[in-house]
Amino acid sequence: MTRTSLSGQNLGKYRVLEPLGSGGMARVYRGYHPQLDRFVAIKVLRSDLGEDELFLTRFRQEAQAVAALRHANIIQVFDFDVEDDIYFMVMELLDGDTLHTRLNDYRVRDEQMPWGEMIRILLDVLDGLTYAHQEGMIHRDIKPANILLTRRGQAVLADFGIAQIVGGTRHTVSGALLGTLNYMAPEQGLEGVSDVRSDLYSLGVVLYEMLTRRPPYDADTPLAILLKHVNDPLPLPTELNPDVPAPLERIVLKALAKERDGRFQSGTEMAEALKTAAAEAHIELPSEISLPLSFSTSEAPSDSVAVFSGTARAKLANVEFAAQDTAATSSASIAADLAALKAQEPPVAELPAESTAVPPEDQPSVERILLSGAVIFFLFNMLIIMFSGRSGSSWFFAQGWPIELMLIAVPFFLLMINRRNLWLLIPAGLLFGEGVLLGYYALSGRWEDWAFLWPLQVFLVMVVLWYTITRAVNSAQAGELAVLWGHRLLRLAAGIIIVYLFALI
């Protein structure tokens, strides 16, 4: 069975009907599930993607997670399967158009999308995106063509399946750069690193385009676009459209910070900022998104991409959604040009002062953090020795020594925050937890309690290992969790040490 002869054939339990379109990564067909009486979209992945074992492994690992996403603002993926070496995903079809088409309609009419409509679309997308992030999924390919605007008045995010399964970070198994570079975060295109903030950067580019009718960076080659994301100052939206409300411009500037720490750290944070901006600018938010500009009751929109159930909904217009699919750009050509062109690009530090990107912070090295921890440990012990010498008492060394374990854990907390490394929770948590338990024994003098409290130590070890391994391996927000727990444990350690010292005195 070849890719060009799928119409009229069966793929698993689905009957393949007419093609709806094709893009860089897949071809989309209208399909039918006879047992459920449901019309669906069948996205057949490019044939060469199944020739590499890395792709096959990723396909098997990620398929279940992608299909498990259930949210009103995420297009539902029903199934992933393979038949005769054809890898395909089955999705719902949503009746409406894409944001890409909607923006083009406004350009043709020389009109501006209403501010409230923009914010409503973004809030819908952020609702679905935040849910996906909490489930450990990063989209990696957010752009107007992947945001569907339905006749139900909702914005729905599409193509989690392609972005997640085909690779998403930097290269596909065939050596293609995944994602549309106009919307790609600097670290995603240059380093192959993606996290929650990379998705929010891409959504910030979408907002920029809605405000100004164009993406912030464009060029003749993919590499040139990528280097603009990395190096060029952001053109202010008000320079292109003076009518842009100042609160919305502030949202764009934060979302498009070149350093991830300068951006919104979660979808919830960005959504709250949008609501606040709407209130400041006195923008009324519609309860739902308006119908397509070209919509008429006698004919379905030209960009139908919908879920249809029942024989009464069997007819569907051809769609452009698949043609706007993720483009595949050869990363080999990018790699070949990168060394030569990067030498011609001014370093970020030499950019003009008007750059609106948040400058990278001077992060301390691991050696500096460990040295700082050693200095704190040394000074603390010197103070205790001096105090003990003057008082003639060795009470601290008899009862206060567990504080030493807590102090040793402090540099690990700082490294968790600085390096955004959740794995450091294992030594940090075990040292701190043991310090607290031993502190109880030493302070109370009830060492005999260890006979029945020892399971707490086993429980501590198991919980720290289980939490760290499950979150660091499966969570897309491991970096954020490392920072969160690093700050929490630092505050907790400071409080316990102070209380412990007062108890000793």
Distance CA 375, CA 430 (A): 22
Asked about 48 being catalytic, the answer comes back as no
Q: Are the beta carbons of 248 and 281 closer than 8 angstroms?
A: yes
In b/e form, how buried is each residue of 442-472, taking b as 16+ CB within 10 angstroms? beeeeeeeeeeeeeeeeebeeebeebbeebb
CA angle 189, 195, 197 (to 5 degrees): 90
Q: Which of these is catalytic: 97, 127, 141, 303? A: 141
Which pairing describes strands 14-22 and 26-33: parallel, antiparallel, or unpaired? antiparallel
Task: Tell which residue, 215, 199, 204, has the closest CA to residue 122.
Answer: 204
Cα separation, 410 vs 415, in Å, equals: 9
Amino acid present at 349: A
Q: Are 352 and 346 in contact (CB under 8 A)?
A: no
Neighbours of 412 (CB within 10 A): 23
Rounded distance between C-alpha atoms, residue 282 and residue 275, angstroms: 10
Sheet holding 96-98, edge to edge: 96-98, 147-150, 155-157
Q: Do residues 98 and 147 touch, judged by C-beta distance below 8 A?
A: yes
Say how many C-beta atoms besides its own lie within 10 A of residue 403's C-beta: 23
Annotated catalytic residues are 141
